[in-house]
Structure 1
């Protein structure tokens, strides 16, 4: 079969391990005859993955890559939301629209849509999704929105459930049992709340004698908090890597994961950890609902460290992780995103998926 080029577009090259994990999962699932070309904020870093990459910040580079492509793929994640910026969804939609006008196969892949608050963003998003060759989403809220717009879509768990993991060198040298903590800077995580969280971790660690792993998923934003944990909590260690497969592997042998980052919770749950979510975003709430995870919204955190620590101690002693059968089911169903890619590239008259919610 003749090789075809697919231009992959996402929040790549920005140092966010969750988005890099989505890229790794997409490259893992892409049909072998499709040559990936990645738009990245850091093309040199992305080329280290062994793929062709061009700057996502250069109009000339983007147009040249589009002109040489046969397909265009939004590569997973919360690209279409205006809670953090109205510019970002318009940027991604404009690239998708350019690809559609050029007659490329266009795939909105593994999307977590919303929140979409502005009428303009909502209209542009609806028009763009409606003209895609195929759409897959990672949660029921996104599927419901597309159903309201009468846009067919496949629904499946986040592709990172199916991402292959590998061991991080030196991790096995750290003592057990282990607890992993993944926090990120956010306006809702005020200095006072962070201080209370760290104090609660101190209390928890002293009660359990666990080894605490502070895991920054986006070092530029997360590392300062991770270092604050390491400098204050007894037997705490900074664990950092830029390889998303290694980050997923960090959670092997971890007894409890306390996380703000969506993909830290997915990676931990996939490894059989008990997971406690700290939610700052609807995507975390969606995961909590779908997996029945305990946790708190950041703006509803207990005000005292003792209450936090007691809650974590109870969950550590009595809580349950997903069963191996549940994890396997989620991983298998995440493969639906692969099927979308296979069917698009195998059939020029690609049939629409039905929305399954």
Structure 2
């Protein structure tokens, strides 16, 4: 089948992914579809993508989306936390509009559509909730964990099936043991803003060198590292910018350990066999750390006192099986 993949992955004006986690999820899904004999194509409402990774189809509005959906045999929306209210206090939010529009176009053109490996956050506001209810109504929905399924079935009045995160479609390929590799720190802006020079100095004393990996690398000044105070930022051995996902993956593979609140950097660390510490009280990170038995702390100040640990391999294998089965089940339903 010709399958149009719609995700939250976007290309910035510097021609690389704005969010490397979204790029990881999208590439993992595309590669899995191609391995099953399908012809996937990724919709991108940003700029033209350069560099490594799967090619994108640049779309610039609803008319181009309609043409792309009509040309496809099926549409898959996923993965990532697409079922959420990401808008400002008095707006509809981009993701509810995206999901509702894609599903509406697919239904109007008679193109089968479904959700794969999505997360669902609580949705309280009326209009975004109505858009998301429309998006999941009579549409196959496969979510990454049970909490998301409960929200889809409850708040959104849909029917969700539990699978796993799309990143687990990638093969579990443990990187060679790294002696003397840097600690890779990958934090969202909230946690990055709490990093002090004392924190970085303590990490350097323990690990030797520290790299800050920007998973959000937007060209508009909203990189994760932009929130770090200058005195602390100056102490990092490297602060990344404008990477492709394969380049970011190589940095994680060469790390002695990974510490982060960026969930899909943690997923990549797990797939590459890197020990890690999760830093966050965000529900999705708490769920990840609990499921895969990874040490977790609430703040960067606690990291130096905790030893990084590998994820539970048995739990990882079970989750990988769910990711594979749920994709096959979705394809059978389309």
**TM-score with structure 1 setting the length:** 0.76
Give the conservation status (yes or no) of the 8 Å contact 1:36–1:52.
no
Query: 1:135 aligned to 119, 138, 141, which one?
Result: 141
Give the conservation status (yes or no) of the 8 Å contact 1:166–1:245.
no
C-alpha distance 50-189 of structure 1, shift in aligned 2 (>3 A): closer
- Partner SS, residue 242 of structure 1: coil
1:36 and 2:40 correspond? yes
Partner Cα distance (2:28, 2:262) in 1: 17
Partner Cα distance (1:246, 1:338) in 2: 27
Give the conservation status (yes or no) of the 8 Å contact 1:175–1:211.
no
Query: 1:11 aligned to 8, 12, 17, which one?
Result: 8
Partner Cα distance (1:265, 1:223) in 2: 17
- Partner SS, residue 64 of structure 2: helix
Partner Cα distance (1:166, 1:314) in 2: 29
Aligned match of 2:320: 331
Larger Rg: 1
Query: 1:222 aligned to 224, 227, 236, which one?
Result: 224
Aligned match of 1:305: none
1:133-174 CA-partner distances (Å, limit 9, x unpaired): x22111211111233366433322212123258899xx99x9
Q: Runs of 5+ in structure 2 lacking a partner?
A: 12-17
How far the C-alpha of 1:253 sits from its partner, in A, is: 5.0
Partner Cα distance (1:271, 1:237) in 2: 21
- Partner SS, residue 256 of structure 2: strand
How many residues align? The count is 317
Partner Cα distance (1:163, 1:156) in 2: 15
Give the conservation status (yes or no) of the 8 Å contact 2:257–2:274.
yes
**TM-score with structure 2 setting the length:** 0.81
Aligned Cα RMSD in Å? Answer: 3.2
Aligned match of 1:74: 77
Aligned match of 2:15: none
Q: Runs of 5+ in structure 1 lacking a partner?
A: 303-307, 346-357
Partner Cα distance (2:87, 2:275) in 1: 30
Give the conservation status (yes or no) of the 8 Å contact 1:167–1:249.
no
Partner Cα distance (1:129, 1:268) in 2: 32
Partner Cα distance (1:113, 1:181) in 2: 26
Aligned match of 2:111: 104
- Partner SS, residue 247 of structure 1: helix
